[in-house]
Amino acid sequence: MKRKYFLRSLMDALQGIVSAITREKNMKLHVAGAAVALAASFYFKVERFEFLFVCTAIALVFMTEMLNTAVEAAVDLKTEKFHPLARLAKNVAAGAVLCAAVFALVVGVIVFAGRLRNLY
């Protein structure tokens, strides 16, 4: 019985990821950026600890974008007219995504800038 609940929860979580990717324009951009970062990691044969930072940055951006999507959906569901707290919730969630994206950019610059410079 517990196995059915676990499998159902797993399927629901995977559906949430798929929904975020298919419905959110920014999530599609994050997926494309992640693909480029992973491809570059393999192309440049980055060290294991650098690859861990790249993967951590990707995961952080994905998680914050999905949480942002969830916050926006919940606020929109509950809020029928403008409310300053609704705006605050959406802005803070979007700010979390921005922080994660800046972190990912910094990781990308640290890991790949020297390697890209050596190509030319």
> What residue segments make up the domains of the chain, in order of their start?
2-118
Closest CA to 21 of 13, 12, 30: 30
Q: Which residue has the tokens 């019985």?
A: 1
Other Cβ atoms less than 10 A from the Cβ of 16: the count is 13
Q: What is the pLDDT along the chain (120 residues), one digit of tens a residue?
A: 677 899 999 999 999 999 999 999 999 999 999 999 999 999 999 999 999 999 999 999 999 999 999 999 999 998 888 899 999 999 999 999 999 999 999 999 999 999 988 887
**Third-level CATH fold of 2-118:** Helix Hairpins (1.10.287)
- Catalytic residue list: 65
pLDDT score for 93? 97
